[in-house]
Amino acid sequence: MGRPWLLLSVTSAAALLGGQLAFVGSATAVPDLVADRPSAAPAYPADSLRALGARTGLKIGTAVNMDQLGSNEKYTQITAEQFSSVTAENVMKWAEVEAVRGTYTWEKADQMVAFAKKNKQLVRGHTLLWHNQLPAWLSSDGYTTTLSNDEVKAVLKKHVFAQLRHFKGDVWQWDVVNEAFDDNGQPRETIWYKAWGGTGYIADVFRWAHQADPKALLFYNDYNLEFTGPKSNAVYELVKSLKAQRVPIHGVGFQGHLSTQYGYPDLQSNLERFAALGQKVALTEVDVRTFTQADAVNTPVNPLASYAQESYWSRSLKACLAVRACISFTPWGFGDSYSWVPGWFDDPQEGAALIYDEQLNPKSQYYVLQQDLALAAGAPRR
Ligand code: 9MR
């Protein structure tokens, strides 16, 4: 791997730090409040993403594929060494935990939580309410159900209490409501919307979640909030209205599924305006896909694509670093072999969206993140 990006990154990091360089000297006087700062004998390398993130108190997360964790040695080691937060990519979703009505299967989720404890990682709970990955007995598509409106309300309440209580004390941030709006900023007319006759279900679910686990940070989570537009405006109004009703919402998750075919979003100003509402913010599912070959789904069509991808990764991380309320930065997995992207975006084919290649070797995208964290001395501590 050549290193022209090193120079680029140093230049842009200096530009980002700009006037804040004056604080660098006084940073040593700040007390160390970061729980996972490496101790005398850290279990992870000093140049790992988690160790470098700890310098500013930023948690670096990953989505975890439970088919790999524990059985794939290299995958398991990287998960433990590089990340200070973990999100279950699938195993905490409703279809997984209650496939049979009234019978809960927590085993895989519990294994992930145990792994996190062992490795001193925080857990993002994902996700309590979504219109996808619902159990078949409830809904096959999130928009239709054979249950009555009253039954829908009752099963949702039961689900929220069962899940929050099961993981009480173990989950740092919960994605309480996921993807409730479409890209036009209209509420999705899901089974929840229909049962409540509007978006009133959102307030109820946050209230129940808070009752069940008062210490968890409760998030609304969605994609395309990175761009100012109808969707991010609608979610902004939602958060404002929930705050006005004193609903316990603590944060907004920006999923961050980016593609080099679109312009880079005005992410930082969106993070800032939600933070100004008193919310924590987080990047929760970052990946940066690009056009790839049909028969080699993680090989870019254009060999220059990785430069654009590095830039998107770097700018996303720096946007989060620059905003004190941005408490975690989570790529949606780390190895290209396990990414959802090639299977979902296949016409035209996209892929190569993560920071490790198919053999789980770090890509240039990984090194860009590593450097940005190492150079972020002027970023506010959180
Ligand atoms: O990565 C997840 C993939 O394995 C599942 O098949 C898919 C089902 O819809 O969900 C993926 O994760 C999604 C996340 O839960 C919510 N935001 C969008 C993510 C990518 O689809």
30 pLDDT more than 90:
no
Give the closest residue to 63 by CA, choosing from 239, 253, 236, 206: 253
80 pLDDT more than 60:
yes
Instruction: Note the pLDDT of residue 18.
Output: 32
> Looking at 186-267, which runs of residues are DSSP E strands?
217-222, 251-254, 257-259
364 pLDDT more than 80:
yes
Instruction: Note the pLDDT of residue 3.
Output: 38
Domain boundary among 254, 276, 300: 254
Taking the C-alpha atoms of residue 207 and residue 230, their distance in angstroms, rounded to an integer, is: 26
Which letter does DSSP use for residue 33 in this model?
-
33 pLDDT more than 80:
no
Say yes or no: CB of residue 255 within 6 Å of ligand 1.
Answer: yes
Say yes or no: CB of residue 285 within 6 Å of ligand 1.
Answer: yes
Instruction: Indicate yes or no: pTM above 0.85.
Output: yes
Contact between 205 and 128 (Cβ < 8 Å): yes
From the CA of 127, give the closest atom in ligand 1: 15
3-state secondary structure of 4: helix
Residue 171 inside a domain? The answer is: yes
* Ligand 1 atom 6: residue of nearest CA: 340
Ligand 1: centre distance to CA 256 (Å)? 13
For residue 348, whether the previous peptide bond is cis, meaning omega lies within 30 degrees of 0, is yes
From the CA of 339, give the closest atom in ligand 1: 1
Under the banding of pLDDT at 50, 70 and 90, the label for residue 9 is very low
Cβ neighbourhood burial of 233 (10 Å; 0-12, 13-18, 19+): middle
Ligand 1: centre distance to CA 340 (Å)? 7
Instruction: Note the pLDDT of residue 37.
Output: 53
Domain count, the chain: 2
Instruction: Note the pLDDT of residue 32.
Output: 43
146 with 247, same domain?
yes
Instruction: Note the pLDDT of residue 289.
Output: 98
Q: Which domain holds residue 332?
A: 45-83+258-382
39-43, 63-67, 191-195, 294-298: least confidently modelled range = 39-43
| CATH of residue 231 | 3.20.20.80
From the CA of 65, give the closest atom in ligand 1: 4
Instruction: Note the pLDDT of residue 323.
Output: 98
* Ligand 1 atom 8: residue of nearest CA: 133
What are φ and ψ of residue 222, in 5° steps? -160, 165
From the CA of 93, give the closest atom in ligand 1: 15
287 with 234, same domain?
no
250 with 318, same domain?
no
Say yes or no: CB of residue 175 within 6 Å of ligand 1.
Answer: no
Cβ neighbourhood burial of 257 (10 Å; 0-12, 13-18, 19+): buried
Taking the C-alpha atoms of residue 315 and residue 358, their distance in angstroms, rounded to an integer, is: 24
Give the closest residue to 221 by CA, choosing from 264, 259, 185, 251: 251
Cβ neighbourhood burial of 64 (10 Å; 0-12, 13-18, 19+): buried
* Ligand 1 atom 14: residue of nearest CA: 89
152-198: pLDDT as tens digits = 999 999 999 999 999 999 999 999 999 999 999 999 999 999 999 99
β partners of residue 356: 335, 362
27 pLDDT more than 50:
no
Under the banding of pLDDT at 50, 70 and 90, the label for residue 43 is confident
Taking the C-alpha atoms of residue 152 and residue 146, their distance in angstroms, rounded to an integer, is: 9
pLDDT > 70 fraction of the chain, expressed in percent and rounded: 89
Say yes or no: CB of residue 133 within 6 Å of ligand 1.
Answer: yes
Say yes or no: CB of residue 67 within 6 Å of ligand 1.
Answer: no
* Mean pLDDT, range 258-274, rounded to an integer: 98
Q: Which residue has the higher pLDDT, 246 or 8?
A: 246
Domain boundary among 211, 236, 254: 254
50 with 199, same domain?
no
Both structure tokens of 52: 């470098």
Residue 248 inside a domain? The answer is: yes
Residue 135 inside a domain? The answer is: yes
Residue 39 inside a domain? The answer is: no
Say yes or no: CB of residue 89 within 6 Å of ligand 1.
Answer: yes
* Mean pLDDT, range 248-258, rounded to an integer: 98
Residue 126 inside a domain? The answer is: yes
Both structure tokens of 82: 């590089």
Q: Which residues of 105-121 are buried (b: 16+ CB within 10 A; e: fewer)?
A: ebebbebbbebbeebeb
For residue 59, give the H/E element and its range: strand 59-64
The letter for the amino acid at 140 is: S
β partners of residue 175: 126, 219
132 with 240, same domain?
yes
184 with 311, same domain?
no
Say yes or no: CB of residue 340 within 6 Å of ligand 1.
Answer: yes
Residue 10 inside a domain? The answer is: no
* Ligand 1 atom 21: residue of nearest CA: 340
* Mean pLDDT, range 129-156, rounded to an integer: 98
Mean pLDDT of the chain: 91
Domain boundary among 232, 254, 276: 254
Ligand 1: centre distance to CA 341 (Å)? 9
From the CA of 333, give the closest atom in ligand 1: 1
Ligand 1: centre distance to CA 89 (Å)? 7
Residue 336, Cα to own-chain centre: how many angstroms?
17
User: Residue 323, Cβ neighbours under 10 Å: how many?
Assistant: 22
142 with 65, same domain?
no
Catalytically active residues are 179, 285
Ligand 1: centre distance to CA 56 (Å)? 29
Both structure tokens of 379: 């970023």
25-29, 203-207, 248-252, 361-365: least confidently modelled range = 25-29
Residue 16 inside a domain? The answer is: no
15 pLDDT more than 90:
no
33-47, 159-173, 235-249: least confidently modelled range = 33-47
